[in-house]
Amino acid sequence: MKIALAQIDPTVGDFDGNRAKILAGAARAREAGTRLAVFLPFGRRSPAARPSTPCPGLLS
């Protein structure tokens, strides 16, 4: 099984643009014959857009 590790440069607040970057990365991975594309967890939201504290109950 081929796995692609993908990295994008997300823009804070640009959800449509970030989504397009993810879909383009997935398409490139598919064209290369991979069965799974893995993106960084900040693919949809950049670190600057995330809350600085974890959600209550997240780790309980």
Average pLDDT over residues 30-49: 74
Q: How many Cα atoms occupy the beta-carbon half-sphere of 54 within 13 Å?
A: 5
Report the b/e string of 33-56 with b at 16+ CB within 10 A.
ebeebebeeebeeeeeeeeeeeee
Q: What is the pLDDT of residue 46?
A: 47
Torsion angles phi and psi, residue 25, rounded to 5 = -65, -40
Cβ neighbours around 21 below 10 Å, total: 19
Domain boundary assignment for the chain: 3-44
For 17-32, how does the pLDDT look when each residue is reduced to its tens digit (9 = 90+)? 988 999 999 999 999 9
For residue 60, pLDDT over 70 is answered with no
